[in-house]
Structure 1
Amino acid sequence: MKYWKGIEELESTPEFMSTAFAEFLPVKESHESKDATSAPRRDFLKLMGFGVAAATLASCEAPVHKAIPYLNKPEEVDPTISNFYASTYFTGSDYNAVLVKARDGRPIKLEGNPESPITRGGLSARAQAAVLDLYDSARLQHFAIKGQRTETAEVDRQIRAKLAATTGKIVIVSPTIISPSTKKAIAVFAARYGTTEHVMYDAHSASGLLQANNGVLPGYDFSRANVIVSLGADFLGTWLSPVEFAKQYVKNRKVSNDKRTMSRHFQFEASMSLTGSNADVREAIKPSEMGAVAVALYNAVVGGGNTPTFSNPRVAPQIAKAAAELKANRGASLVVAGSNDPAVQALVAALNQSLGNVGTTLDLTTPSYVRQGDDARMAALVKDMNAGTIGAVIFYNANPVYNHPLAAEVKSGIAKVPLTISFNDRLDETGSLCQYATPDNHWLESWNDFEPKRGFLSLSQPAITPIFATRQAQESLLRWAGNNETYYNFLRNNWRGVVSGPFDAAWDKAVHDGVALGTALPAAPAMLTPAMSVGDAVSRISSAPKPAANMVEVSFYEKVGIPTSGTGSNNPFLQELPDPISKATWGNYLAVSRSMAVANKWEQGDVIKISAPNVAPIELPVLVQPGQAAGTVSIALGYGRTMSGKAGDGVGANAAPLLMVANGGVMYTTVVTLEKTSAKSPIAQTQTHHTIMDRHEVVQENTLAKYKENPREVTEHEKVYTPDGMEKPNKVSLWQDYQYNNHHWGMAIDLNSCIGCGSCVLGCQTENNIAVVGKQQVINRREMHWMRIDRYYSSDHHENEFETNGKISTYAAMEDPSDNPQVIFQPMMCQQCNHAPCETVCPVLATTHSSEGLNQMTYNRCVGTRYCANNCPYKVRRFNWFSYYSNEKFETVNSHMFTDLGRMVLNPDVTVRARGVMEKCSFCIQRIQLGKLEAKKQKRRPKDGEIVSACAQSCPTDAIVFGDMRDPTTRLSQLLRREDGERAFHSLESINVQPNVTYLTKIRNSASEMFGPEEEA
């Protein structure tokens, strides 16, 4: 098995090889002056000539902070003690029940709420980073009329007068709203102004899915599915409710002595997605072929045919195999599709109905409400605005001038509406065109309720007083409707009758827990037109025009970090989060297959002009992406903002105008022409900075069949034999082993459970005050993340056999290993080695070993020699080349934390490291010390689960287990005992650094397992 990180390593390109073994070699920068910190290592002696003392003093300067006495302390606030408040994160995309960690009245960290029956303590990467948005100085800080600051009372007076005089229709435009009380507030407003209409649209639309299910978004349960077939649905990354689905999905992917079965997962998609990278069988198809795949699958399952009517000889056997698996697991299977085409969704709905999945893996009685947007109604509104029939429009956290494919028509329509109001939190592309700006509070400053699925409620409560002179949008609607009640009272009164028992006690419990069972909504009628029949769906797919063979199809997708709506684009945490697949940061790109790049003589970073009919072209750099379907390209939406803030403006290009609108719905695919320009734009990728030098023991995987046969042979360990053939130990070392008498902290990571979502990366960043460095510094290989998710491609391709109509057919995998490689993810952080190579080379004892097994950093000793980083085999140490939070060079990328307001997000329990200092993962030592102190107060040892690292707490799939290995009762100790000799291994075990991080070998479904005797019968 050959593992490789990217095309450059696979091909050993000169550019890659020139830097693979030179960790600190500077990259030529186009806009930076050369300074001492960018000097190559061999120039270190030149610095010695200048004077070590001078260089050391300059590198260790720290900012001076003034202390202010806390004379009037609020009763519930204790200095140095964190308070936690249950709340809810939902900004129109993914839903997360959260706990808000606040210090001295300021939120500094979000964690998953384990009380939630939906997200169950998991948290998405976006939710992890959302706390930073609270301190965004680009937020609008006051009410305004035509951009000029105006008193709130005067704005209210003018708006009420104009609303009363409006003769046309009044429309409130928003993304999906899942708050029952917000909808009731809109209803109160509509009762006062009878011509009011509420139009919801989603930048990442599921309108076609709603139409196919009579206006109901089904509830899905992947944990009850033995077989999953996904037609382009990235349900682990961005589709509908990824945290909820990831929890369910991994439940059937974990294996152990007690559970030696796994669900089987087929994925058909155009570009490599997070979900596709975790599939057992993944086939790359063109977007125009998705409908045909759905028809072939339906014919093979429902029509009774064994041979799918699909011409592609590589894909057809996989469809037949998926159909056989589905039929053998009726009632325990699930078919999902990410397409917004109602015809495709109608076939998927018919498939699930025929397979008996409704009521087991798919539930229509407890529908999801996280996507309610109606593409047809939004398109009709745009037409009405331009026709002059709309009297007033209120944009409620909606930005269609940026993220809707009819953006040009929306912009022209706004100019024709007599009264335009924006609730948006900034003067963005849409809000800047409105007459009145009445900015909404940040959700961490607000009361609200949510019902993401019928029967499951949650609340949000303010964790901080509004920082700016803003007001909740719901309260603004009530004021303009003549209702002076506070939204808190309005919300509380709306919950009477929702919770059972004495109301005050029930309400207090709901606020404390953050979640409750019950519904605050009436039975929802069908919102959209009924589903089309199967015959109509097949006819529509068959008659759809097919792109010419020489045309390039583009697939538009949503990244795990930046949402399609673009709402997170000014968050530097999200911009610098490496994409799980491409490992790219700070912008989007044109993802192409290697065959297309070779045929067109494109190199990575070449800028391509992308043109489509009737819209202005955009330009993006090329990124060669393994797994991209031949003849297709992919572009991420959510980039190219112009009015989001310093960090987000001008990052990437906006591809939303290229989207195609057909039959009233938004289609996330179209046909484009590509033309190479003379420009180049380097892509800031992580992980590809160094090579693993063909070491196969970094990460390990095996098949389920071998695990069942002998679990002790699925993991390879280096073995040494004596001349007579006896195995002997290979742990010879010059080190004196440590004796851990009290605690020995460690971690286990199950590679079967890790899906590569990156939530742990941002959990670590927000917890530990890790700096954002910007695109150029990432290109310079200077990113600061303490932990990363290494993504490895494997290219051990064999011929695969599948049974079709009783005959064995064979097709050979393509010769190019980049066409459709397998993917494996490995979280990598400081391994806290017992025989740490970094400790032996530090000349000033800045890095030492603790009595509890931790590799410690003493920052004020470090003089920045970087010997430790050079000696680290895992490349997990980070050097502070600059003072990122105070250097004007980084004001743009750190626009949030460059101000005193932004620094409020910093965790006071963790030192902000200065320039010239080395840093790395500490296993969240501040959490360990706090847990030990609390236990000491009660005169006992810490209990398992009381001390959890930020990465383990963030993980939505429970892939990371943290604990004390000296305590035999901890989950970690029990896991290591159970997996010892089976799946447990240490990365780079042969170098004998003895890490305290243990990995569990990834187990995959083998071809024989995917089509076993039960299916043949």
Structure 2
Amino acid sequence: MKTYWRSLEELQDPKALRIQEAREEAKQKSLLYKTEGGNGGNSRRDFLKTLGFSLAAASIAASCKRPVEKAIPYLVKPEDITPGKANYYASSYYDAGDYCSVVVKVRDGRPIKIEGNELSPISQSGTSARVQASILNLYDGARNKGPENLSKSITWADADLEVPKALKEISDAGGRSVLLTQTVISPSTKKVIQKFLEAYPGTEWIQYDAISASGMLNANMKSFGQRAIPDYRFDKAKVVVSFAADFLGTWLSPVEYTKQYTSARRLDDGQRDMLRHYQLESHMSLTGSNADVRFPVKPSEEAGMVLALYNAIAAKTGGEQISGVPAIVDVSALADDLLSAKGKSIVISGSNDENIQLFVNAINQLLGNYGETILWNSALLTKKGLDEEMAALNADILAGKVDALMVWGVNPVYDQANGAELEAAIRSLKLSVSFAERKDETARACQYVLPEPNYLESWNDLEPKVGQLSLAQPTISKLFDSRNVQESLLVWTGDSTSYGDFIKSSWESDFYPEQAEYADFRLFWNYTLQKGVFSSASEQTAEYNGDSLAASAAKLPAAKSGLEVVLYESIALGNGKYANNPWLQELPDPLAKISWDNYASVPVAYAEEKGLENESVITVNGLELPVFIQPGQAKDTIAVALGYGRTYAGKVGDGVGKNLFSYVSAENGSRKYSIENASVDVVAGATFPLALSQTHHSMEGRPIVRESNLDEYLAKPNAGNEFHEESEKHHVTLYKEIEFKGHHWGMAIDLNSCTGCGNCAISCQAENNVQVIGKEQVRNRRIMHWIRVDRYYSGDPANPTVSHQPVMCQHCDNAPCENVCPVAATPHSSEGLNQMAYNRCVGTKYCINNCPYRVRRFNWFQYVNNDKFDYNANNDLGRMVLNPDVTVRSRGVVEKCSMCVQRIQDKKLEAKLAGRMLNDGEIKTACQQSCPGSAIVFGDLNNPESKINKLFKDQRNYHLLEELHTLPSVGYLTKIRNKA
């Protein structure tokens, strides 16, 4: 049996780690007594007396000053709103290259939950953690409340007089105005911008992406004559080779790619082969952790590897071999595997170097992948920014060659290397306008701040792929005095048309004629708006041109000596725009399991050589960073996440982490996300606390992840799961067997489909009002997520195998927590759910101590009127996100996964009113519905035809710690890998 470990300390001495963890728990209990006014002793009687006094005092204080409750009755009830009943609206999320077609749940006029739109051919029903957390951005107190000029409130009428006047004066004088935006994928917005540019001659439009794909765009222009990104179809591939492209985490379209990738690795419904995945990277990424074979390499070594792979394939296919930089390892076996899947493979690179991307294109051409697994008729449009254009604009602003700058959706003062100089230059412009929805560093430097509304308050249309369109519609009245940027641009051209009407008019002329289903535009519009998506015909093709390969080979960078620093995009914060979102700040990194900070990931050997431990401090080119020892980090590399170090984001995001965008340089005209020959020094004796949560919930070294390889599985379907049958044979119990006469709810999780992305944790948090507690409390072992995604390593610490496992309440039929509760706060339902009666719980924590799965959470959170504890749930605006179907817990009770019992009851009632039986799959838990990998199945175990019933009978199915005979209602399907 493999040895699994969560940290290097556990690998070296598991017993010592468990003793240390026990001491930490005891320490936190001691702290509890002191904070509650106790004397720090171990007397439970004293503790309960103190707790009782505290609660009594709180009750007296509350009764003396009762809070004012406001209610606004419907004098005339809207026709489409029934109080207490949810409405659902199709919409679209798009920001900084992230796209997702969504469905928004609205209760009494409040959006409270985001789900994936299952009608979307791109994202399907999946979402990401950022999409799930975007609902909280709507209720962010850091949003700009209305138009301002030099930090003073003005009216929109004032702005509509002053800004166009300044623009006209600049235009008439032959000056230069620039509209700087993120990549725009809205067909209607492009029309508005073009109209605006025509109205003000001398105005330019520049698109810019902080996390750039400029190198790929330029390479594709040379190779195919198209400045776009092709459509990668991982579901059609048999072999995937990725050079540092985190396509399951942050690269281009991760929700879409995750859905495709997991479908190609699923082993149900008779599927007997799996996509084979190779990952070559420096930093242990989410994608790398899921690979069958992973090679740790330095960023500067990538070019040699790509060239060597090209030459190896060219040699066997009759292509031209090109000399250039050498490779560090032999790639002939990799080339053979790709050639064995010719036309059924994909080679990709996350590099922003045009020359590397040209050779990646050449490799895919030699393999015959274009038109098979890589398509041009549905090219991806979410990255259009060219780094050369932004670099030239940056230089021109500093040189005084720009008179007016209008900034929309980007934050160059924060994410450009010369942000401080750029800020000073923007302040000196004749006109500077920011359309920022919320606080950011660039908006602070601008004369005018004219805020746009949140995407949930807005009309929009989007075309993320050629021919694939979607609509966004308002789901709530505007909370603040904001206005669509498109509407502002229209007004400044003398057009009073609302943007919503402009979109309708645009669709009537452009897309309505492309369909024949509806004879009336109103029907077409209403049905498309209801579905949220529309597909139009696309005949886009591309012919390959490899003429520039030889010239590009001479420009490929050679491998460098010395330390290299990798700058990567984090799963949670991305480019840092939503650093003020506490759900994202508290989401643990999928690999490091650290929240609330960025840090320097260092290799195990380097840490041993320098005497470093977790939370040591080093300087990277003079910038101090805490250390995390990351198994799998490539030799002579260090990795640090971008998106942190915001200085003007809001009370949650300000000052969290360090800003590494200042180290993003340029090479071959594109932004370079690595630092070569970095100067790294150890700060002797210094430490920096990190909120590390992986070791909080130990199952005492018992086997939890089970896995095998594909060859063994095909020979024996229960491979890796033999212990399950042995355990079932020897069960002896004092419990009476429980008979469930109605429903018996259960959940199955396919470990082949779970990538560890953390989307489920945020989806559960949004659905079930799970509180944010902050870095200090996470360090105090109090993280509140009802579902955690455990990460386990096995094998060589220099390049380990990684396993991800979601763990929530197992809803045991023989639940150990139920017997020990002195107030019966943990009853078992007649349908197999382990329940929590919050109004009974007195916080003894006996149930927590008796749970072998470590899935119950004690609520330590208290509402305190200071910034330290003021996250999202204790102010009027933040409370709007709360789900009224779920009790909001207060300090002193135990809480845990309820299997979204509110959703179960809702669907049962719906079926009862309709006079029918519940359909299998009709009830979806929050984690299941949003999972981009479709890893989770929920259903009725008593229904012999249900999918959950069939999965529980699958020979891959097992239960956590089944030797304890707790009879969990959650099953796991053994993880199967391709043989390395």
If the TM-score is normalised by the length of the shorter chain, which range does it land in? over 0.9
| Residue of structure 2 in register with 1:568 after alignment | 578
- Please show how residues 370-381 of structure 1 align to structure 2 within 5 Å: 370-381=382-393
Aligned with 2:613 (options 603, 613, 621):
603
Equivalent position amino acid for 2:591 in 1: I
Shift of 1:594: 1.2
SS of the residue corresponding to residue 280 of structure 2 reads: strand
Shift of 1:93: 2.4
| Residue of structure 2 in register with 1:760 after alignment | 760
Aligned with 1:856 (options 832, 835, 838):
835
Matched, 1:225 2:229: no
Equivalent position amino acid for 1:204 in 2: I
| Residue of structure 1 in register with 2:847 after alignment | 868
Shift of 1:414: 1.4
Equivalent position amino acid for 2:715 in 1: E
Assess if the C-alpha contact under 8 Å between 2:772 and 2:872 holds in 1: no
Assess if the C-alpha contact under 8 Å between 1:422 and 1:436 holds in 2: yes
Matched, 1:984 2:957: yes
Provide the C-alpha distance between the structure 2 equivalents of 1:673 and 1:757, rounded to a whole number of angstroms.
Answer: 32
- Please show how residues 2-17 of structure 1 align to structure 2 within 5 Å: 2-12=3-13, 16-17=17-18
Change (3 A) 1:308 1:740: farther
Equivalent position amino acid for 1:930 in 2: D
| Residue of structure 1 in register with 2:315 after alignment | 303
| Residue of structure 1 in register with 2:168 after alignment | 164
Assess if the C-alpha contact under 8 Å between 1:297 and 1:308 holds in 2: no
| Residue of structure 2 in register with 1:740 after alignment | 740
Change (3 A) 1:410 1:707: same
Provide the C-alpha distance between the structure 2 equivalents of 1:856 and 1:464, rounded to a whole number of angstroms.
Answer: 34
Provide the C-alpha distance between the structure 1 equivalents of 2:610 and 2:9, rounded to a whole number of angstroms.
Answer: 18
Assess if the C-alpha contact under 8 Å between 1:37 and 1:881 holds in 2: no
| Residue of structure 2 in register with 1:975 after alignment | 951
Equivalent position amino acid for 1:70 in 2: P
- Please show how residues 279-294 of structure 1 align to structure 2 within 5 Å: 279-294=291-306
Q: Which shows bigger deviation, 968-977 or 772-781? A: 968-977
Matched, 1:112 2:116: yes
SS of the residue corresponding to residue 657 of structure 1 reads: helix
| Residue of structure 1 in register with 2:329 after alignment | 316
Provide the C-alpha distance between the structure 1 equivalents of 2:931 and 2:57, rounded to a whole number of angstroms.
Answer: 39
Assess if the C-alpha contact under 8 Å between 1:402 and 1:641 holds in 2: yes
Q: Normalising by structure 2, what TM-score?
A: 0.94
Change (3 A) 1:957 1:472: same
Equivalent position amino acid for 1:675 in 2: D
Provide the C-alpha distance between the structure 1 equivalents of 2:526 and 2:425, rounded to a whole number of angstroms.
Answer: 46
Assess if the C-alpha contact under 8 Å between 2:354 and 2:668 holds in 1: no
Equivalent position amino acid for 2:9 in 1: E
Equivalent position amino acid for 2:747 in 1: M
Change (3 A) 1:904 1:825: same
Provide the C-alpha distance between the structure 1 equivalents of 2:339 and 2:728, rounded to a whole number of angstroms.
Answer: 51
| Residue of structure 1 in register with 2:898 after alignment | 922
Matched, 1:540 2:555: yes
| Residue of structure 2 in register with 1:779 after alignment | 779
Provide the C-alpha distance between the structure 2 equivalents of 1:291 and 1:940, rounded to a whole number of angstroms.
Answer: 61
Q: Please list the CA deviations of residues 383-434 of structure 1 after superposition, one character each: whole Å capped at 9, or x if unmatched.
A: 1112222121100121010012342443243134211100011341101111
Assess if the C-alpha contact under 8 Å between 1:123 and 1:954 holds in 2: yes
SS of the residue corresponding to residue 477 of structure 1 reads: helix
Provide the C-alpha distance between the structure 2 equivalents of 1:298 and 1:579, rounded to a whole number of angstroms.
Answer: 34
Provide the C-alpha distance between the structure 2 equivalents of 1:168 and 1:33, rounded to a whole number of angstroms.
Answer: 68
Matched, 1:751 2:743: no
SS of the residue corresponding to residue 404 of structure 2 reads: strand
Aligned with 1:998 (options 968, 971, 975):
971
| Residue of structure 2 in register with 1:71 after alignment | 74
SS of the residue corresponding to residue 8 of structure 1 reads: helix
Equivalent position amino acid for 2:858 in 1: F
Assess if the C-alpha contact under 8 Å between 1:575 and 1:586 holds in 2: yes
Matched, 1:822 2:801: yes
Aligned with 2:566 (options 551, 555, 570):
555
Aligned with 1:95 (options 95, 99, 109):
99
Q: Which shows bigger deviation, 154-163 or 303-312? A: 303-312
| Residue of structure 1 in register with 2:920 after alignment | 944
Aligned with 1:833 (options 805, 809, 812):
812
Provide the C-alpha distance between the structure 2 equivalents of 1:728 and 1:310, rounded to a whole number of angstroms.
Answer: 60
Shift of 1:257: 6.2
Equivalent position amino acid for 1:740 in 2: F
Change (3 A) 1:36 1:415: closer
Shift of 1:737: 1.7
Assess if the C-alpha contact under 8 Å between 1:89 and 1:98 holds in 2: yes
Equivalent position amino acid for 2:950 in 1: Q
Shift of 1:375: 0.2
- Please show how residues 391-406 of structure 1 align to structure 2 within 5 Å: 391-406=403-418
Q: Which shows bigger deviation, 408-417 or 240-249? A: 408-417
Equivalent position amino acid for 2:822 in 1: P
| Residue of structure 2 in register with 1:122 after alignment | 126
Assess if the C-alpha contact under 8 Å between 2:90 and 2:117 holds in 1: yes
Identity fraction in percent: 44
- Please show how residues 264-279 of structure 1 align to structure 2 within 5 Å: 264-279=276-291
Provide the C-alpha distance between the structure 2 equivalents of 1:293 and 1:29, rounded to a whole number of angstroms.
Answer: 55
Assess if the C-alpha contact under 8 Å between 1:124 and 1:243 holds in 2: yes
Assess if the C-alpha contact under 8 Å between 2:708 and 2:719 holds in 1: no
Q: Please list the CA deviations of residues 153-202 of structure 1 after superposition, one character each: whole Å capped at 9, or x if unmatched.
A: 11211101100000312111111111111111111100101212111111
Assess if the C-alpha contact under 8 Å between 1:647 and 1:893 holds in 2: no
SS of the residue corresponding to residue 477 of structure 2 reads: coil
Provide the C-alpha distance between the structure 2 equivalents of 1:186 and 1:525, rounded to a whole number of angstroms.
Answer: 28
Provide the C-alpha distance between the structure 1 equivalents of 2:37 and 2:972, rounded to a whole number of angstroms.
Answer: 36
SS of the residue corresponding to residue 656 of structure 2 reads: coil
Q: Normalising by structure 1, what TM-score?
A: 0.90
Provide the C-alpha distance between the structure 2 equivalents of 1:690 and 1:19, rounded to a whole number of angstroms.
Answer: 13
Mark the runs of 5 or more structure 2 residues left unpaired by the alignment: 222-226
Shift of 1:713: 3.5
Equivalent position amino acid for 2:573 in 1: I
Assess if the C-alpha contact under 8 Å between 1:856 and 1:922 holds in 2: yes
Provide the C-alpha distance between the structure 1 equivalents of 2:231 and 2:808, rounded to a whole number of angstroms.
Answer: 36
Matched, 1:138 2:142: yes
Q: How many residues align?
A: 956
Assess if the C-alpha contact under 8 Å between 1:212 and 1:530 holds in 2: no
Equivalent position amino acid for 1:604 in 2: N
Q: Which shows bigger deviation, 171-180 or 992-1001? A: 171-180
Shift of 1:308: 12
Aligned with 1:911 (options 876, 887, 890):
887
Change (3 A) 1:192 1:690: same
Change (3 A) 1:845 1:752: same
Shift of 1:19: 3.8
| Residue of structure 2 in register with 1:810 after alignment | none
Shift of 1:20: 2.4
SS of the residue corresponding to residue 26 of structure 1 reads: helix
Shift of 1:966: 1.2
| Residue of structure 2 in register with 1:413 after alignment | 425
Provide the C-alpha distance between the structure 2 equivalents of 1:59 and 1:748, rounded to a whole number of angstroms.
Answer: 43
Mark the runs of 5 or more structure 1 residues left unpaired by the alignment: 612-616, 721-726, 796-816, 1008-1017
Change (3 A) 1:524 1:642: farther
Provide the C-alpha distance between the structure 1 equivalents of 2:756 and 2:497, rounded to a whole number of angstroms.
Answer: 46
Assess if the C-alpha contact under 8 Å between 1:296 and 1:309 holds in 2: no
SS of the residue corresponding to residue 213 of structure 1 reads: helix
Assess if the C-alpha contact under 8 Å between 1:385 and 1:416 holds in 2: no
Provide the C-alpha distance between the structure 1 equivalents of 2:322 and 2:17, rounded to a whole number of angstroms.
Answer: 44
| Residue of structure 1 in register with 2:770 after alignment | 770
SS of the residue corresponding to residue 42 of structure 2 reads: helix
Change (3 A) 1:263 1:163: same
Shift of 1:77: 1.2
| Residue of structure 2 in register with 1:674 after alignment | 680
Change (3 A) 1:851 1:40: farther
Equivalent position amino acid for 1:507 in 2: W
